[in-house]
Structure 1
């Protein structure tokens, strides 16, 4: 019995180390490629019954301009778009996984008001993550000029990286 427990602890520790390495490399990648128009950088982690998502995206892809909103019209445009994107319904999980959104945020990153980026983060609790064999990203139609999402991920099936586009907006985890 203690060998089984030790194996589970070792696997869990290996997963956490892999996750940490992936998140660190994702942060470095985002810094190196900061504010590339048309490109968002995202990280996805699926572990046990949880899904965690984070994405950095240039403001002009979210609201149509890259600075902090200055006019009442820009403020209204920003508010409407953030309300549209906030529920994270553009990340589609298989219904058999029975995932419930626990928390979500889609907001401007604090800092330089001349070149604003937005950060999307969300967490889901799922009844059965083994049913999650793919990710469908329906974000492209809701944004202006977003050409690709560069995604790094860790799932029970493995870890990897992919580029999602308007034409190729699904990623199968079973292929990895």
Structure 2
């Protein structure tokens, strides 16, 4: 991620990956359908979060949008993910408000790249339309690449809390919005230490140390 404000969450992410690596989870194995990661770091009155999920959990596919409907699904998912106030429930006394949210996904980027590739391919076909065998090979390679793609949604949130000491509990509502999520591996870190959680649709609230 490119945001400057998530220095502490990057630290949390590092600790998260280290913790699960010891349990047999490797960082590159984190892309598992149904599973997601949530790293939370608290520094004073600021709470930063890093949410990472396979695109399959969010929109039901991981290739670039092929239709207008799929493109609309991705745009709708981005809007939902940006609404951090609806996805996370803080204690009212903590006075935590969403300061910023940034969503990144290869799906939209890949869609733009695909359009460029498509135009280049059309140009290529106009010049070498007689070479059908080469065209067929390129299309097969493209389809295989799509099938092997592992796109994700990665979101950064920043919350400002007027009474940070009252931030002792968090309700995660991601399960309600995105039915494809079955489990969220969560890591919380602050000056008090760190703690890991396994959240599910039935257990979506956790108490902080």
- TM-score bracket for the superposition, by shorter chain length: 0.7 to 0.9
- Whole-angstrom CA distance in 1 between matches of 2:10 and 2:32: 25
Q: Is the aligned partner of 1:42 residue 2:22?
A: no
Considering Cα pairs closer than 8 Å and 6+ residues apart, tell me whether 1 or 2 has the greater RCO: 2
Name stretches of at least 5 consecutive residues in structure 1 with no aligned partner. 1-17
* Structure showing the higher strand proportion among its residues: 1
Give yes or no for contact 1:60–1:144 (8 Å, CA) kept in 2: no
Name stretches of at least 5 consecutive residues in structure 2 with no aligned partner. 1-7, 21-25, 111-144
My pick for the range that moved more, 96-105 or 26-35, is: 26-35
Among candidates 157, 160, 175, match of residue 122 of structure 1: 157
Q: Aligned-pair distance for 1:20?
A: 7.0
Q: 5 Å matches for 1:93-132?
A: 93-109=90-106, 114-132=149-167
Residue 68 of structure 1 corresponds to which residue in structure 2? 64
TM-score, length-normalised on structure 1? 0.79
TM-score, length-normalised on structure 2? 0.68
User: CA 1:139–1:22 in structure 2 vs 1: closer, same or farther (change >3 Å)?
Assistant: closer
User: CA 1:21–1:87 in structure 2 vs 1: closer, same or farther (change >3 Å)?
Assistant: closer
- Whole-angstrom CA distance in 2 between matches of 1:85 and 1:118: 9
Runs (4+) off by over 6 Å? 110-113
RMSD: 2.3
Q: Name the SS of the counterpart of 2:179 in structure 1.
A: coil
